[in-house]
């Protein structure tokens, strides 16, 4: 079982080298294993759980919690020996946050998975999973890409589920390619970056990091979206960001959002933000929270929120909240600087 296929509606995802991960769990005598899938893939969790029950003498549990990234993992949950997390990668920036909250150590890795020891007692496996490419979709995307590709200055960047699509396109066109996540992109030398994904989420990551010419190869819509349209969506959300900062500047009370998730928990940043707010005459509290809704935000006694959680919360989701949310690195513009001096490239940090 070197590659396991799971069905999600009419589509198929593949989990390469899952057999090696199962062998490791058996060797470690894991007695209780939690299976984690992203929101859109949770319907496949029971299929993987069945395969694990057939292969291991262990209790297999399925997580029903929201899972937007590996930063959401329940690896610190009681009575769990191991977590098999499907569909996300533990990038260097997230590993840095993890390391400040847990004793985490890489014990094995492959191009399709990574295995970590957590606090010397638990195992966290990041198992990568990819959509199986549909040939008709590939052909259409390839034809569209040929019209804009310049081998000397174009790089493909794939959201993890679309790696197989990206690799096939890169091979056909002779292009380099790299991973992109919602908060990570390695340094790339490219005048033109084409993000292979669906929806704008991953395509906005390079723009937040300072890249200018970003196109979106949308797999679900089988369409190449030009950089002008991607920038238009980026500008729309950046406008919401500036509006949130301006509203926060008028606020008299605040709350500092602190997550308990091991990949998001930044206590030092939260305490620093609290001190800065209080020194500026703004009454504030640190609020422990993992999943923020507008109902919860409205119930808190604050005019605005300072988030130390996922930085994309304070950028992509602002139109979902009735109160302004600013990220920790943006607090300086509310307290000390002009909003016009905003450097959006720091939103992600």
DSSP string, 97-108: HHHHHS-EEEEE
Q: What is the pLDDT of residues 60-83, one digit of tens each?
A: 999 999 899 999 999 998 889 999
Indicate whether 118 and 172 sit together in one domain.
no
Q: Which of 163, 192, 225 is the last residue of a domain?
A: 225
- Domain assignment of residue 290, yes or no: yes
Indicate whether 123 and 140 sit together in one domain.
no
Indicate whether 142 and 211 sit together in one domain.
yes
pLDDT at 95: 96
Indicate whether 258 and 151 sit together in one domain.
no
∠ CA 16-18-24, nearest 5°, is 145
Q: Is 145 helix (H, G, I), strand (E, B) or coil?
A: helix
β-sheet with 104-110: strand ranges across = 59-62, 32-36, 82-86, 122-127, 113-118, 104-110
Q: Which range of residues forms the domain containing residue 118?
A: 3-130
pLDDT at 346: 76
- Report the number of distinct structural domains present in the chain: 3
Q: Which of 130, 156, 175 is the last residue of a domain?
A: 130
- Domain assignment of residue 303, yes or no: yes
CA distance 324 to 317: 10
What's the token pair of residue 8? 């999600």
Indicate whether 122 and 143 sit together in one domain.
no
Indicate whether 274 and 332 sit together in one domain.
yes
pLDDT less than 70: residues of the chain: 1-2, 349
Q: Is 225 helix (H, G, I), strand (E, B) or coil?
A: strand
222 CB neighbour count, 10 Å cutoff: 15
CA distance 257 to 270: 7
Q: Is 140 helix (H, G, I), strand (E, B) or coil?
A: helix
Indicate whether 168 and 274 sit together in one domain.
no
CATH of the domain at 326: 3.40.50.11860
CA distance 116 to 103: 10
Q: Which of 225, 260, 295 is the last residue of a domain?
A: 225
CATH of the domain at 49: 3.40.50.11840
Indicate whether 61 and 169 sit together in one domain.
no
pLDDT at 20: 96
Indicate whether 29 and 120 sit together in one domain.
yes
Q: What is the pLDDT of residues 10-36, one digit of tens each?
A: 999 999 999 999 999 999 999 999 999
- Domain assignment of residue 235, yes or no: no
- Domain assignment of residue 233, yes or no: no
CATH of the domain at 177: 3.40.50.2020
φ and ψ at residue 189, rounded to 5 degrees: -100, 95
pLDDT at 1: 47
What's the predicted TM-score (pTM) here?
Answer: 0.94
Indicate whether 183 and 250 sit together in one domain.
no
Q: What is the pLDDT of residues 131-161, one digit of tens each?
A: 999 999 999 999 999 999 888 899 999 999 9
Indicate whether 246 and 323 sit together in one domain.
yes
Indicate whether 31 and 121 sit together in one domain.
yes
- The enclosing H or E element of 192 equals strand 192-197
Count, residues in the chain: 349
């Amino acid at each position: 079982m070197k590659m396991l296929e799971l069905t999600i509606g009419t589509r198929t995802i593949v989990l390469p080298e899952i057999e090696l991960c199962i062998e490791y769990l058996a060797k470690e005598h894991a007695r209780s294993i939690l299976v984690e899938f992203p929101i859109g893939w949770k319907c496949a969790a029971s299929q993987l759980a069945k395969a694990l029950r057939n292969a291991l003498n262990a209790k297999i549990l399925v997580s029903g919690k929201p899972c937007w990234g590996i930063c959401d993992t329940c690896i610190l949950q009681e009575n769990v020996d191991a977590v098999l997390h499907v569909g996300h990668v533990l990038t260097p920036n997230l590993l840095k946050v993890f390391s400040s909250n847990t004793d985490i150590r890489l014990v094995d890795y492959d191009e399709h998975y990574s295995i970590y020891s957590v606090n010397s007692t638990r195992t966290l496996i990041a198992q990568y999973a990819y959509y199986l490419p549909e040939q008709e979709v590939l052909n259409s995307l390839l034809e569209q890409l040929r019209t804009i590709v310049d081998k000397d200055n174009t790089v493909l960047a794939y959201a993890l589920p679309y790696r197989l699509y990206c690799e096939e396109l890169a091979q056909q066109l002779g292009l380099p390619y790299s991973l992109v996540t919602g908060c990570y992109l390695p340094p790339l030398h490219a005048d033109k970056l084409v993000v292979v994904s669906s929806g704008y989420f991953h395509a906005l990551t390079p723009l937040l990091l300072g890249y200018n010419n970003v196109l979106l190869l949308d797999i679900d819509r089988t369409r190449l979206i030009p950089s002008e349209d991607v920038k238009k969506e980026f500008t729309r959300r950046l406008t919401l960001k500036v509006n949130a900062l301006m509203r926060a500047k008028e606020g008299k009370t605040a709350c500092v959002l602190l997550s308990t998730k091991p990949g998001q928990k930044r206590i030092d940043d939260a305490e620093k933000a609290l001190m800065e707010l209080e020194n500026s005459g703004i009454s504030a509290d640190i609020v422990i929270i993992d999943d923020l809704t507008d109902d919860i935000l409205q119930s808190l006694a604050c005019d605005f929120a300072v988030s130390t959680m996922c930085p994309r919360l304070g950028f992509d989701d602002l139109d979902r909240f009735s109160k302004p949310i600013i990220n920790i690195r943006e607090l300086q513009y509310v307290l000390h600087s002009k909003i016009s001096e905003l450097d959006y490239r720091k939103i992600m940090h």
